[in-house]
Amino acid sequence: MIIRTSVAALAFALAVPTAALAEEAAPQAAAAKPTAADAEAFVAAAEKEGFDYTVSASRVFWINSTYLTDDTNALAAEVGAKGTEMQVRFALEAAKYKDVPGLSEETRRKLDKLRGGIVLPAPTTEGAAAELNTIATELQSIYGKGKGTLDGKPVSGSDIEAAMGDVRDPAKLKEMWVSWHDNVGAPMKDDYARMVEIANQGARELGFKNVGAMWRGQYDMSADEFAALTEKLWQQVKPLYDDLHCYTRTKLNEKYGDAVQPKTGPIRADLLGNMWAQEWGNIYDVVAPAGAGDIGYDVTELLKAKNYDPLKMVKGGEGFFSSLGFSPLPETFWQRSQFVKPQDREVVCHASAWDIDNKDDIRIKMCIKVNADDFTTIHHELGHNYYQRAYNKQDPLHLDGANDGFHEAIGDMVALSITPDYLVEIGLLDKAKVPGADKDLGLLLRQGMDKLAFLPFGLLVDRWRWGVFDGSIKPADYNDAWTALRLQYQGIVPPAERPADAFDPGAKYHIPGNTPYTRYFLARILQFQFYKAACDIAGWKGPLHRCSFYGNKEVGNRLNAMLEMGASKPWPDALEAFTGTREMDGTALVEYFAPLQTWLKEQNKGKQCGW
């Protein structure tokens, strides 16, 4: 999964200056009751100060991510500490205005965002912000420098991820899985527990029960209502996942035998082609049945046959957005982005999209390999960049997606349109080789191995963190609770007994990176809702999974109308602008995969499904 970094994200989900504003208030004003005019003046000044801070902060964080050293770590920690201290003071100030009568709806929304939009709030205790940021920076550095082993030899993060998708020897898969989780996750545990303690103190100072409640409160509804919404969406799509799990387990059992993968119960985590078993598309060759599973082409092979390199892959992604009527990417994008892993230094390879100055300095940071997964990821990343550009005329506090799931869904919606017809359009696939309808099950199974397989993982990461933040999961139980949730939601188990000091959550980037994760679950739902809306606008009449809206300017116009709203309105308003409905809903995803579900149920007859 991917993160984006923008001026808005840095200013109002990381740090916003407040000290000067507080100091400028006249002594008599401090004693007077605040007014709506005071609140508006405060918000306006906050937006300006926050915007100015983030331009330089963005550059520091970019350098740290693309040039990992002790010095850049120290600089990032220093800038982050300064920002967090300012942001907390700002949030405390914003809390004073939340009950002021006569506030406009816009001012109230901005105050709520200032008060509750902090990812890791530091308490006002002296030194707390510095300690919090030092820990957060160190956790990310441990991950960025982390290595597992294969055949006893050290393997870096991006390389071991790729190897997990290619290797089929269960002993080697187990070695990679165990070594990565032991080497990367375990060293973080004590620091992570301390970080949780500090951040929870900060959340309580802002009037929240804990950090998890604060995260859940950022969706134009209460924290409890949001938790209920995610559960409702999960129940809509869970039957699809259960059918896929049952079928996949059978195929793994056929390949590896009972000693490695039993016919019943959970699936061994390292056999699914992904370090975290979050997407299973890499083992499509294992599960594809003769006659029904062949999709007729391989995107990785097509890219290599057409001599695509990383730059040409990015150009291809840009071409999709250009076909919808969006302006070309700026020249600085090509000059300043990181497309491949440098040979001379450590970098954070985890893909991300950046908006440095909220004007036109947009970038991506990747370690691109010429394969189908990275081709899809490029489309995803560019979705962030085009979203950032579309709303760049909004007020600083509105420089963000309608909610964080929206930001993740845009590029994925476009990636769903990477159909055979689209591949023909861009010259990757010969028109004579476009698979017929008889190949649809293969296409859907390949998509489902990623899209459906991800759903429970997208939910459980924050379910675990919510428990950590509210104290129901104690530090001594961190790993056991993580393993239990993975069994409950995903139906998977580790390939080996985990030691008492294990911290397997830390082996997933978004845990040490402190990136809220429910956004990715929402994005999996929203991308299909957006995709169906785009196909309806384009007048598509065939099966939903065959639709490509490449080249449709009306789709581009309607999409841009939603994107340019940014976070200026509640997310149901933005959803309605593009889809015509105000409800997040999983039925488009169910419709997309309906033919696959019918087929899976046939394959699973007589099997003992569930775990």
**Torsion angle of the four alpha carbons 528, 529, 531, 537, in this order, in degrees rounded to the nearest 10:** 160
Q: Is 519 annotated as ligand-binding? A: yes
CA angle 241, 243, 244 (to 5 degrees): 65
Within 8 A by CB and 6+ apart from 424, the residues are 430, 431, 434
Phi, psi of 394 (to 5 degrees): -75, 165
CA distance 579 to 402: 14
413 vs 579: CA distance, rounded Å: 13
What is the C-alpha to C-alpha distance for residues 149 and 222, in angstroms, rounded to an integer?
Answer: 44
Residue linked to tokens 């929206």: 406
Burial of 334 (0-12, 13-18, 19+ CB in 10 A): middle
Does the annotation list 380 as a binding residue? yes
Among left, alpha and beta (phi > 0; psi -120 to 50; other), residue 433 is alpha
Q: Is 408 annotated for ligand binding?
A: yes
Say whether 510 is catalytic: yes
Judge residue 238's burial from the number of C-beta atoms within 10 Å of its C-beta, 0-12 exposed, 13-18 middle, 19 or more buried. middle
Task: Measure the CA–CA gap between 521 and 458, rounded to whole angstroms.
Answer: 5
Calpha distance 176→126 (Å, rounded): 42
Residue type, 203: A
Q: Assess contact for 411 and 383: CB atoms under 8 A.
A: yes
DSSP state of 186: G
Tally the residues of the chain: 611
* Catalytic entry in 85, 279, 318, 381: 381
Choose the catalytic residue: 245, 350, 510, 545. Answer: 510
Residue 257 to residue 88: CA distance in whole angstroms? 55
Active site residue 381: yes
* Contacts for 226 with CB less than 8 Å, ≥ 6 apart: 216, 217, 219
Residues tagged active-site:
381, 510
Per the annotation, binding residues for Zn(2+) are 380, 384, 408
Per the annotation, binding residues are 219, 380, 384, 408, 519
